[in-house]
Amino acid sequence: NLIIGILALQGAFVEHEMALQKLPIQKKIDVVLVRTPGELARCQALVIPGGESTTIALLARLSGLLEPLREFVRVKPVWGTCAGAILLAKAVVGAKKGGQELLGGMSITIARNGWGSQLESFEADLDVTGLRDSERPFTGIFIRAPVVLTLEPSLEDPPIHVVSRLSPSLLPESLTSSNSTPEPKSFVALRQGHHFLTTFHPELTRDNRFHEYFVRECVLPSISPPRP
């Protein structure tokens, strides 16, 4: 069986558990709700749910999980959704006063609550080129979501793959009016090596293709690497 943890300090973790347990894959998945370093140590991969990134980081520090999480990110597959995507970034813009602890893992800069107040929460059909049945769109649910500002992989880093994007015509003017290109602000799901982030909430939709993607593209290859 695969053992996949879901960080369960705060936020939308129950929905992830249900989605992971119904995947069309050969292996059975055991889900561990992670609240302690001991629980984290049992896991082969981790999902960091949406919620409130500052609160999740604070609770992680209080639970003695912050350093174990950073170590986990260095060696094992991690998927961050929304607040979890913020935690997985190397740098954040718009953090609360007092700052924001990050775990790193993905070579990007992300803007917290980057869609602006008019677009606090919205649904949009996503282009999902990287997924199974890619001609079938996916309804992305965005809730005070972050926006990817820049991709900055260094030469040693694995390349970053765009798994899903929002049509640039759906980007609010506040994000496109400057002379910058709509990319990478339209990128809403990215994979780098065995790390994965989605700025929206796939666990709030019945469609579990993003969960399947994480398990197939990040978790399984990390457990049985392809033979040379």
Instruction: Check whether 112 is labelled as a binding-site residue.
Output: yes
DSSP letter for 13, please. Answer: -
Least distance from ligand GLN to the Cβ atom of residue 49, Å:
8
The catalytically annotated residue of 43, 82, 217, 218 is: 82
The catalytically annotated residue of 17, 43, 195, 203 is: 203
DSSP letter for 43, please. Answer: -
DSSP string of 86-155, one letter each residue = HHHEEEEESPPTT-------EEEEEETTTT-GGGSEEEEEEB-TTSTTTTS-EEEEEES--EEEEE---T
Site for ligand GLN (CB under 6 A): which residue of 2, 4, 45, 50?
50
Cα separation, 90 vs 110, in Å, equals 8
- Return the range that interacts with ligand GLN (CB under 6 A); candidates 36-44, 51-59, 68-76, 159-167: 51-59
CB contact at 8 A, 100 and 110: no
- Return the range that interacts with ligand GLN (CB under 6 A); candidates 13-21, 79-87, 170-178, 217-225: 79-87
Residue 65: helix, strand or coil by DSSP?
coil
Q: Is 120 one of the annotated active-site residues of the chain?
A: no
Cα separation, 28 vs 86, in Å, equals 29
- Return the range that interacts with ligand GLN (CB under 6 A); candidates 26-34, 46-54, 59-67, 161-169: 46-54
- Return the range that interacts with ligand GLN (CB under 6 A); candidates 33-41, 80-88, 190-198, 215-223: 80-88
Site for ligand GLN (CB under 6 A): which residue of 20, 83, 108, 215?
83
Least distance from ligand GLN to the Cβ atom of residue 127, Å:
21
Q: Is 218 one of the annotated active-site residues of the chain?
A: no
Instruction: Check whether 227 is labelled as a binding-site residue.
Output: no
Instruction: Check whether 74 is labelled as a binding-site residue.
Output: no
CB contact at 8 A, 45 and 83: no
* 75 sits in which H/E element: helix 66-75
Size of the site for ligand GLN (CB under 6 A): 11
Binding mask 94-123 for ligand GLN (x = CB under 6 A): ------------------xx----------
Cα-based distances in Å from 160 to 30, 45, 81, 106, 184: 28, 19, 17, 8, 11
Site for ligand GLN (CB under 6 A): which residue of 25, 33, 66, 143?
143
Phi and psi for 117 in degrees, rounded to 5? -70, -30
Residue 47 interacts with ligand GLN (CB under 6 A): yes or no: no
Active-site positions read: 82, 201, 203
Residue numbers at the binding site for ligand GLN (CB under 6 A)? 50-53, 82-83, 86, 112-113, 143-144
